[in-house]
């Protein structure tokens, strides 16, 4: 259909909104129509530059926008109607804030002349979302709409990324602006993002690097956030730095993919369910280089016992993260890519001073820790199917495709992080900060829309899947070849594990054995191919069939019912107090 955005000498509010999206290179929208945003959808009807994807639930639309961005580095918009439409999106907005994901949320409001009267489907969206957005606005003056939208997009996509919400009363969509002109947005001076890093700071870090005998790089989602298929320079620089110094490196859950986990210097993931060697190295190191991380509790364990004898360097774009949880010796506000580039250049200048003999004993200790083989498992040929085995096979089969893995939240999420060894940026898409069950499928849909020719695998379990399983309708509607791999043990697995370990095995409301649906029949009702596997010898062939199938495919593997995620740092414990099965 012909684009009629510029077909007259005046613009109405809804047309201005679409023009702002296009001016900011936003051409994809996830949403749901309702009474308050019908004027906006009516304007969408007469244009063709912006593609809209309908979801079965507003929460799923917000997660899809996260998946879309996390796969590409490109922002999508979310359209939500008033009242329950907006409040249904609250979980996804919060998730985006905690995982620093930029997103533009357009909530539509009741007409401005009835705001405050408890009108039908009225909700105080600004009040509700003030603490879960990077910023939010309500626009009652159509003449301010364009600049507000430009500012919202700019704030979402600069500094520490995050969701920004614009609430628009229904009548503003239909008000006219005579002789509208799309002007360039000029950022406010009060919003000043510091990206550069002083050379003096780099010199201080290099001195510590040269002197260190037990160092470690600790890298997080901040590095993933600045990389894309078109910009791999930061992770290329990181690789050069690691090889130049011969330092070990570990990554967070959000940092998976910034460094190849099969590289000789990689200690893989750290934290509550990280490797023994990564956590022990974090505890015993004398120098910690923390890049784009936030020292969250799943990584630090008991704060007072966290890496007690190390010098700590912390680099983050958000100054509020520095010295927030962990006091550090050198706190650097700035962009991770600038830091990595400057550090690499300075290390090259002083390469003659870098002595690998300094870390020889350290590597000897680390290699002893590696012998623990903390992710090791033994799959009996005729035994119950182990989740470790399923995901290890999935990784081996899909590795050559460099797939995007999305996950829900729970035991399967941790096993996926352990065994799906992604080696490229942005390939592991999960809900880390908020830990949102129901994230995986809509995020996979968003990623598949963003990357139509790539393999997208959603790793899930029955508890999480049932949170947003209605999005099978979206998969079918848009004929998306998303692959869904369910580890089915008919428990809320992680809750059951904690009840077993810390509540004397008093299992309460965690068993799905008699209540879980027939997922094959469920998928069939949406016209999606599905299969269940319950024997070890059939697992590999079933995964291969799923991967090679042209359309969407749902594979449920019935795994051992009571299986815990190990290794584990128990709550309130230190890194060197890991427990094993």
**Residue 184: predicted pLDDT:** 78
For domain 10-178, give the CATH superfamily: Thiamin diphosphate (ThDP)-binding fold, Pyr/PP domains (3.40.50.970)
For residue 163, the cross-strand partners are 103
**Residue 443: predicted pLDDT:** 98
Exposure string over 165-175, b if 16+ CB within 10 A, otherwise e: bbbbbbbbbeb
Query: How does residue 423 score in pLDDT terms, banded at 50, 70 and 90?
Result: very high
The pLDDT tens digits for 335-394 are 999 999 999 999 999 999 999 999 999 999 999 999 999 999 999 999 999 999 999 999
Beta carbons of 452 and 446 less than 8 angstroms apart? no
SS3 of 251, please? strand
**Residue 7: predicted pLDDT:** 44
Query: How does residue 6 score in pLDDT terms, banded at 50, 70 and 90?
Result: very low
Query: How does residue 185 score in pLDDT terms, banded at 50, 70 and 90?
Result: confident
SS3 of 321, please? helix
> What average pLDDT score do residues 51-61 get?
98
**Residue 413: predicted pLDDT:** 98
Phi, psi of 420 (to 5 degrees): -90, 85
Q: Which of 394, 369, 348 is nearest to 285 (CA)?
A: 369
Residue 484 is inside which H or E element, if any? strand 483-488
Ranges 74-88, 188-202, 434-448: which has the least confidence:
188-202
pTM: 0.95
Q: What are the residues whose beta carbons fall under 8 Å from the beta carbon of 250, sequence distance 6 or more?
A: 216, 217, 218, 219, 266, 267, 268, 269, 270, 274, 275, 278, 281, 282
Beta carbons of 35 and 6 less than 8 angstroms apart? no
Query: How does residue 229 score in pLDDT terms, banded at 50, 70 and 90?
Result: confident
**Residue 2: predicted pLDDT:** 42
Whether the per-residue pLDDT at 1 is higher than 80: the answer is no
Average pLDDT of the chain to the nearest whole number: 95
549: left (phi over 0), alpha (psi -120 to 50) or beta: beta
Share of the chain above pLDDT 90, in %: 92
**Residue 160: predicted pLDDT:** 95
- Alpha helix (H) residue ranges in 377-471: 387-398, 411-419, 440-450, 462-465
Share of the chain above pLDDT 70, in %: 98
Q: Which fold has domain 199-370?
A: Rossmann fold (3.40.50)
> What average pLDDT score do residues 71-91 get?
97
Exposure string over 60-90, b if 16+ CB within 10 A, otherwise e: bbbbbbbbbbbbbbebbbbbbbbbebbbbbb
The pLDDT tens digits for 300-329 are 988 999 999 999 999 999 999 999 999 999
Whether the per-residue pLDDT at 331 is higher than 80: the answer is yes
Domain residue spans in the chain? 10-178, 199-370, 387-558
Beta carbons of 5 and 18 less than 8 angstroms apart? yes
Question: Would you say the CATH fold of 387-558 matches that of 199-370?
Answer: yes
> What average pLDDT score do residues 417-436 get?
96
> What average pLDDT score do residues 80-107 get?
98
Query: How does residue 5 score in pLDDT terms, banded at 50, 70 and 90?
Result: very low
**Residue 368: predicted pLDDT:** 97
Whether the per-residue pLDDT at 83 is higher than 60: the answer is yes
- Point out the residues that are catalytic: 58, 120-121, 170, 494
Query: How does residue 514 score in pLDDT terms, banded at 50, 70 and 90?
Result: confident
Check: CATH 3.40.50.970 for 387-558?
A: yes
The pLDDT tens digits for 441-491 are 999 999 999 999 999 999 999 999 999 999 999 999 999 999 999 999 999
> What average pLDDT score do residues 232-252 get?
97
Query: How does residue 3 score in pLDDT terms, banded at 50, 70 and 90?
Result: very low
**Residue 9: predicted pLDDT:** 58
């Amino acid at each position: 259909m012909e684009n009629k955005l510029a077909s007259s000498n005046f613009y109405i509010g809804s047309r201005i909104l679409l023009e702002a999206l296009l001016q900011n290179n936003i051409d994809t929208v996830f949403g749901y129509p309702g009474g308050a945003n019908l004027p906006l959808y009516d304007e969408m009807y007469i244009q063709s530059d912006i593609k809209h994807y309908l979801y079965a639930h507003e929460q799923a639309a917000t997660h899809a926008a996260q998946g879309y961005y996390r796969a590409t580095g490109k922002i999508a918009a979310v359209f939500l109607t008033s009242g329950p439409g907006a409040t249904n999106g609250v979980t996804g907005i919060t998730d985006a804030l905690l995982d620093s994901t930029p997103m533009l949320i357009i909530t539509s409001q009741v007409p401005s002349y009835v705001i405050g009267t408890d009108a039908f489907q009225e909700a105080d969206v600004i009040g509700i979302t003030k603490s879960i957005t990077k910023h939010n606005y309500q626009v009652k003056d159509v003449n301010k709409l364009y600049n507000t939208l430009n500012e919202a997009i700019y704030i979402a996509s600069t500094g520490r990324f995050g969701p920004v919400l614009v609430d628009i009363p229904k009548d503003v969509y239909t008000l006219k602006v005579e002789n509208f002109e799309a002007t360039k947005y000029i950022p406010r001076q009060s919003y000043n993002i510091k990206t550069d890093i002083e050379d003096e700071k780099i010199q201080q870090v290099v001195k510590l690097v040269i002197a260190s005998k037990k160092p470690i790089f600790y890298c997080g989602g901040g590095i993933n956030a600045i990389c894309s298929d078109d910009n791999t320079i930061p992770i290329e620089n990181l690789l050069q730095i690691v090889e130049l110094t011969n330092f070990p490196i570990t990554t967070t859950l959000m940092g998976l993919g910034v460094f190849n986990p099969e590289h000789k210097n990689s200690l893989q993931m750290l934290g509550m369910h990280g490797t023994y060697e990564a956590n022990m190295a974090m505890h015993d190191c004398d120098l910690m280089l923390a890049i784009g991380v936030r020292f969250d509790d799943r990584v630090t364990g008991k704060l007072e016992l966290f890496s007690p004898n190390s010098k700590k360097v912390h680099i983050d774009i958000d100054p509020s993260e520095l010295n927030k949880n962990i006091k550090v010796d050198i706190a650097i506000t700035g962009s991770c890519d600038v830091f990595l580039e400057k550090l690499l250049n300075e290390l090259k200048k002083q390469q003659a001073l870098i002595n690998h003999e300094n870390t020889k004993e350290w590597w000897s200790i680390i290699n002893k820790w590696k012998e623990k083989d903390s992710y090791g498992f033994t799959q009996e040929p005729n035994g119950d199917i182990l989740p470790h085995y399923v995901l290890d096979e999935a990784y081996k089969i899909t590795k050559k495709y460099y797939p995007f893995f999305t996950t829900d939240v729970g035991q399967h999420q941790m096993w996926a992080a352990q065994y799906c060894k992604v080696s490229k940026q942005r390939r592991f898409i999960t809900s880390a900060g908020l830990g949102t069950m129901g994230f995986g499928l809509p995020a996979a849909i968003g990623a598949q829309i963003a990357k139509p020719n790539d393999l997208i695998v959603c790793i899930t379990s029955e508890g999480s899947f049932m949170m947003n399983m209605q999005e099978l309708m979206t998969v079918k509607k848009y004929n998306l070849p998303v692959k869904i791999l369910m580890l089915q043990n008919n428990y809320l697995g992680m809750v059951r594990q904690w009840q077993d370990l810390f509540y004397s095995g008093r299992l309460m409301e965690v068993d799905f054995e008699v209540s879980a649906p027939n997922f094959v029949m469920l998928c069939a009702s949406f016209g999606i191919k599905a299969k269940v596997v319950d024997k070890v010898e059939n697992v590999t062939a079933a995964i291969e069939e799923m991967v090679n199938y042209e359309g969407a495919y749902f594979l449920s593997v019935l795994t051992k019912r009571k299986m815990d995620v190990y290794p584990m740092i128990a709550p309130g414990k230190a890194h060197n107090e890991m427990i094993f099965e």
